[in-house]
A and B are shown apart, each in its own frame.
Chain A
Amino acid sequence: QLQLQESGPGLVKASETLSLTCTVSGGSISSYIYYWSWIRQAPGGGLEWIATKYYGGNTYFHPSLKSRVTISLDTSKNQFSLRLTSVTAADTAVYYCAGPFGDSSARGAYFDYWGQGALVTVSS
């Protein structure tokens, strides 16, 4: 049973870079079938997928965020990270890290394991 936990600054100044780390326990991020994701939720808003990285290499980004987002894996620490540059107030949100759905019979890829969420506020 995977467990995920986000960590990082809760307050970021506008125009600076938001950095969050997700620590995974209960399993290794180093599996070619696994994929690791970041999803955010603005206050009072809906879910917005940000990016997903497969251990095997493929990475996918939300089209409108692609130019500002980096997602990376650190297998030595069993962590993955999010960097979002040039933040504005619109980036204020609860950021969730999410892990894969482990049913090998599934045809698609889904977000089954979630961290508790980390609120990041962008200040001016």
Chain B
Amino acid sequence: QSALTQPRSVSGSPGQSVTFSCIGTTSDVGYVSWYQQHPGKAPKLMIYDVDQRPSGVPDRFSASKSGSTASLTISGLQADDEADYYCCSRSYAGTWMFGGGTKLTVL
């Protein structure tokens, strides 16, 4: 099972946009999802099916995929966006895999 690679950290100022990358093999980056996790809390599903937002997730959160790289963008950064963000993909074998996570710091 190959890895999904995420940068360890990303930072941005309030109001700015930040983008997270998630790099994996073509066979792994299929049905991509993104999870937000605040310290001490359970993760929250933010994106599913590569670029779809569940009900209740602000449209400041958007995502896409190109080749073997998935991306999550947060626009209009807010203090409460400071959290860890994990990409997740399901392989054609049916197993799931999380990226290592990216810590977002809002300056």
Interface of A with B (CB < 8 Å)?
37, 39, 46-49, 52, 58, 60-64, 96, 101, 103, 106-112, 114-117
What class of interface size applies to chain B in its complex with A?
20 to 34
Task: Give the residues in chain B near A39, CB-CB below 8 Å.
Answer: 98
Choose from A48, A58, A108, A117 the contact partner of B98 (Cβ within 8 Å): A48
Interface of B with A (CB < 8 Å)?
1, 30-31, 33, 35, 37, 42-45, 48-49, 52, 54, 84, 86, 88, 90, 94-101
Q: Report whether A46 and B94 are in contact in the complex, using a CB–CB cutoff of 8 Å.
A: no
- When C-beta atoms are compared, the residue in chain B nearest to A96 turns out to be B42
Q: Report whether A106 and B95 are in contact in the complex, using a CB–CB cutoff of 8 Å.
A: no
CA distance A15 to B90 in the complex (A): 31
- When C-beta atoms are compared, the residue in chain A nearest to B1 turns out to be A63
B86 CB to nearest A CB, Å: 5
29 residue pairs of the A-B complex, CB under 8 angstroms, read A39-B98, A46-B99, A46-B101, A47-B37, A47-B88, A49-B95, A52-B96, A58-B94, A60-B95, A60-B96, A62-B1, A62-B95, A63-B1, A63-B95, A96-B42, A101-B45, A101-B48, A101-B54, A106-B49, A108-B30, A108-B48, A110-B31, A110-B88, A111-B43, A112-B45, A112-B54, A114-B43, A114-B44, A115-B42
Task: Give the residues in chain A near B88, CB-CB below 8 Å.
Answer: 47, 49, 110-111
Main secondary structure of the interface of A (DSSP, over half): loop
Task: Give the residues in chain A near B44, CB-CB below 8 Å.
Answer: 114
B35 CB to nearest A CB, Å: 7
CA distance A116 to B97 in the complex (A): 21
Task: Give the residues in chain B near A101, CB-CB below 8 Å.
Answer: 45, 48, 54
Sample of 14 further A-B pairs with CB below 8 A, known A47-B37, A111-B33, A117-B42: A37-B96, A46-B98, A47-B43, A47-B86, A47-B88, A49-B88, A62-B95, A101-B45, A101-B48, A106-B49, A107-B49, A110-B31, A110-B45, A116-B42
